[in-house]
Amino acid sequence: QLSAQQKMSEPPVSWFRGVYLPPPLHPLNQTLAKGGRWQAVGSTQEKRRSFLHGFCQKQGGRKKLQTHLGHLVSRIYVEDRHKVLYCEVPKAGCSNWKRVLMVLNGLAASARNISHHDVHYGKHLRRLDSYDLAGISTRLNTYTKAIFVREPMERLVSAFRDKFEHPNSYYHPVFGKAIIKKYRRDAEEEALKTGSGVRFKEFIQYLLDSHRPVGMDIHWEQVSKLCHPCLIGYDFIGKFETLEEDANYFLQLVGAPAELKFPKFKDRHSSDQRTSAEVVRQYLKELSKEERQMTYDFYYLDYLMFNYTSP
């Protein structure tokens, strides 16, 4: 409704303020997902959607949005052909989801042939915050919005293993050096110089420190802050624990080509054991009872929003 001049001059926060949240829960269009094989997945999906919506209503009631719109949608990727919005949650299948979006968008013939570098650094996919305000609003109101999440402790341990237990030219010098310097007594010169060899307990000390020596990172940021589930109103909530069936059901819903299936391969460090509940238990043994409780408290909202059982 705004004039072109107003759109140019008004910042997103003033344009979006006054919208009541959480948004209403719209029925999921299931006309393209035919066949009895999807019945159980569809039923689970409705329960997840209803649970999250109920949680958001209890938490916030009807309150007005005061968040900067650009920040709100900065992690959301756009696929215009099939009208899909996907909020990226690292360590919850996001690399393969980006591959699928590239195939849907006609940028690649097969998900298997897309390298990790192209997925994360190729800039082939547009984010929602790159559109103008009218473009953002139209897509939020008319596209199918999806989020895929993971049990928070599993996601955290998976991120630690990926970034700190393998050579990494960014996380070791930027995060590793700062973490070792602040949390390791009598650190050796080599460790201070390279930032390699961060221990899980040191990583958790950094995570829980209100005066972190380096900032937050999307790989261990809470989903509640990455994707703002109570503000966006996601139509589809997938879980890493049921990733393949959830993803392929979603592809049916949006009318993806019949031959496109969600990739099964592990994106990196394919020889490593996958981060499972048992692997997580071994890492959590390194922490004190208080540290374990504080880590759970850090991800408390994620546990509640997505109905995960407390560990």
Q: What is the pLDDT of residue 82?
A: 95
Q: What is the pLDDT of residue 66?
A: 56
Mean pLDDT, 10 residues at a time, the chain of 311 residues: 43 47 71 78 94 88 60 93 96 92 85 74 85 91 96 98 95 97 95 96 97 95 95 94 95 92 75 88 97 97 96 85
84-87 and 144-149: which strand pairing?
Answer: parallel
What does the alpha-carbon distance between residue 11 and residue 69 come to, in Å, rounded to a whole number? Answer: 9
Q: Alpha helix (H) ranges present in 20-66?
A: 39-60
Q: What is the pLDDT of residue 33?
A: 72
Phi (first) and psi of residue 77, to 5 degrees: -95, 150
**Under 8 Å CB-to-CB from 154, ≥6 apart: which residues?**
240, 275, 276, 277, 280
Best CA proximity match to 94, nearest among 81, 70, 113, 75 = 75
Q: Enumerate the β-bridge partners of residue 21.
A: 63
76-79 and 84-87: which strand pairing?
Answer: antiparallel
pTM beyond cutoff 0.85: yes
Q: Alpha helix (H) ranges present in 85-151?
A: 94-104, 116-121, 133-142
What does the alpha-carbon distance between residue 38 and residue 134 come to, in Å, rounded to a whole number? Answer: 35
Q: What is the pLDDT of residue 3?
A: 46
Q: What is the pLDDT of residue 306?
A: 97
Q: What is the pLDDT of residue 269?
A: 62
Q: What is the pLDDT of residue 237?
A: 97
Q: What is the pLDDT of residue 270?
A: 65
Q: What is the pLDDT of residue 22?
A: 58
Q: What is the pLDDT of residue 59?
A: 81
Q: What is the pLDDT of residue 303?
A: 98
Q: What is the pLDDT of residue 213?
A: 94
**Under 8 Å CB-to-CB from 57, ≥6 apart: which residues?**
22
Q: What is the pLDDT of residue 252?
A: 92
